[in-house]
Amino acid sequence: MTRRMPTLTDVARHAGVSYATADRVVNGRGGVSEKSALRVRRAVEDLGYVRNVAAANLSQRRTYRFAVILPSGPNAFFGKVRDIISQERRRLRRELVDLRLETVEAFDPEALAAHLAGLARDGLDGVALVGSDHPKVCEAMAALRRDGLAVVTLISDVTDSFRDAYVGIDNRVAGCTAGRLIGLAHTGRAGRILPIVGALSARDHADRLGGFRETLAARHPGLTVLPEIEGRDRHERVEAQVAEILAADPGITAIYSAGAGNSGLVRVLEGRAPAERPVVVLHELVAHSRRALEQGLVDVVIDQRPAEEITLAIAHMRAVADRMPAPAAGPVVPAIYVSENLPPDPGAVPQGEPSR
């Protein structure tokens, strides 16, 4: 026979207090003498009572207030994440979640730190941000946690003592995967590989490049990795640098782009004959990378599944805000796309309907 779970009424009866008193203690609303509070806490422990957070929040009409901070600028991937958050905001309002989207200039840790410091006065329950290891950013994150906010890093991590959880892929493993794919594409032949990052100051880009270099050095020593391009996620900057390097070094056999600005890279590849195109592996399935895969301009796209990341980040912030155990931790497993296994295009016009 299944044992009945204890209720708050059972806790009140066991502690010898009113239901209202037990409710105030369990939900942390104060106004109860220390003696009565101690009796309620002992009853909770004796009975193994588990607080029903969802019911408590519903009865109190509590609204969670969360903010997601993303880099601003033309980065297509973060544009996609902003679209996902906009869609989630409408759904979350029905669950009493107020989700704010805010932006800060990309690769500007001091601006991010200042922005985080300003959030301390906004009465938020939690913040999710693209992590930066800059000391000022880490200190601002630590200050928010001291103020009782849930702090979740998204996409790029920091030292775990400064945040409650990280939601994203293991970027070093993603770089190792790219290295393995490019190594296999060379089938034992020698080659010269051009890496592209947004900035080495971005931990996710640095981790990807580190894993990439380690894998090629260990498994494919016949491949030479050239000095990386720092494109700052600007497509025109990536285009100019890649075009210049390919013109000067026609022996380049592969390109690995660990950052954004890939529409510029695609434009360079469009201008080359198919026989002259290098093997290309890049990150994030967005409109221009999808088209490049379909047209045979790039070979592999490693996508970190941002919709899943946003859902998990919100779940982590809610758990910390409710003083409940966080969801099971672990990196998001990325999807690896080639032209043959692309998912349906969400922006495609259904057959039979006119395009606009």
E strands, 20-174, are 64-71, 97-104, 126-129, 150-154, 165-167
pLDDT tens for each residue of 251-284 = 999 999 999 999 999 999 999 999 999 999 999 9
d(CA 216, CA 211): 9
Residue 272: the pLDDT is 93
pLDDT tens for each residue of 62-75 = 689 999 999 998 89
- List the beta bridge partners of residue 99: 66
What average pLDDT score do residues 78-87 get?
95
Q: Is 65 exposed, middle or buried (0-12, 13-18, 19+ CB in 10 A)?
A: middle
E strands, the chain, are 64-71, 97-104, 126-129, 150-154, 165-167, 191-197, 223-225, 229-230, 252-257, 279-283, 300-303, 335-337
HEC string for 222-246: CEEECCCEECCCCHHHHHHHHHHHH
Tokens read off for 5: 């779970």
Give the global pTM.
Answer: 0.82
What average pLDDT score do residues 240-258 get?
97
Looking only at the bridges linking them, the beta strands covering 191-197 and 223-225 are parallel
Cβ atoms within 10 Å, residue 4: 7
Where on the phi/psi map is residue 338: left (φ > 0), alpha (ψ -120 to 50), or beta?
beta
Residue 50: the pLDDT is 73
Average pLDDT, the chain: 90
Contact 229/197 with Cβ under 8 angstroms? yes
Closest CA to 62 of 115, 123, 112: 123
Residue 176: the pLDDT is 98
Contact 257/288 with Cβ under 8 angstroms? no
Residue 321: the pLDDT is 84
Amino acid at 129: L
Contact 179/213 with Cβ under 8 angstroms? yes
* Cα end-to-end distance, the chain, whole Å: 62
Looking up tokens 């990795």 gives 225
Give the chain's domains with CATH numbers: 8-51 (1.10.260.40), 62-168+306-332 (3.40.50.2300), 171-303 (3.40.50.2300)
Q: What angle do CA 28, 31, 34 make, to 5 degrees?
A: 85
**For residue 142, how many C-alpha atoms fall within 13 Å in the half-sphere facing its CB?**
12
Helix orientation angle between 135-146 and 109-119, rounded to the nearest 10 degrees? 10
